[in-house]
Every structure is written in structure tokens, then in C-alpha cells.
Amino acid sequence: MADGYGHVPRGPRGVLKAGQWSIQGLKAAWLHESSFRLEVCAFVLLAPIALWLGATGVERVLLVGTMLLVLAAELLNSAIEAVIERFGNQYHELIGRAKDMGSAAVFVLMMNVLMTWSLILGPRLMAGLS
């Protein structure tokens, strides 16, 4: 039973509920957010490659983990956009700024993926070419 603030008590039941809400959020993102679908498809293609090419556990975590961060940021960006759209679609400078910043967060993490992959796998590629 929820407390006065609507919080479900912790414990097995609360963990199960939190898991159900998370699955609902993933489903909603998949159904309504084309960027999220594209990033999931990229993850599905690149994660096995990362696991194969990573020479150590740390490298594998970095290669896969950076991609998971992009997915998490996309979920947060989509959540921000959903809240904004709830209040209407008229233009406001602050709304535009919030949407742009959410998009920028995803972009920064995508650059992190490129940097991480380049720094880990680039030297091996160069060594193989010489």
C-alpha cells in the first residue's frame, strides 16, 4: 500500500512494481520514439562486436557501457519531451532550450561512444594495417 506521497514500500513487491514500470517505459519508448528504436538496433548490432573485439573485461564494459549510456540518455530525453508535449505544442524559448539540451546530452554520449571505440580499437586497427 502506498504512503501519503504515493511511494510504494520497498521490498520484493516494490521491486517487482518498479520493474514493471521500467518495462512499460521501454515499451513506450520503442513504440513512440524512432530515435530510441534506431539506437537499440545499433546496440543489437554493435554489442556482440564489442564483446568479441574487447580484449579484456574492462574494454568490453567500456565498449558496451558507452552504448548503454546513449540509450539511457535517449530515454531521459524522450521523457523530457513527453512532459513538454503534455502542456501543448506552442513554441516557447525555454521549451526549445530544454529539447535542444536533451538532444545535446544524447549527442555528447554518442561522441563518447566514438571516442571510446576509437581509442580502444583504433590502435589495433592501425597495428593490423602496418
Q: Is 112 exposed, middle or buried (0-12, 13-18, 19+ CB in 10 A)?
A: middle
Q: What single-letter amino acid sits at 2?
A: A
Which among 33, 39, 59, 74 is annotated as catalytic? Answer: 74
Q: What is the C-alpha to C-alpha distance for residues 8 and 111, in angstroms, rounded to an integer?
A: 38
Can 74 be counted among the known catalytic residues? yes
- End-to-end distance of the chain based on CA atoms, in angstroms? 65
Give catalytic residue positions.
Answer: 74
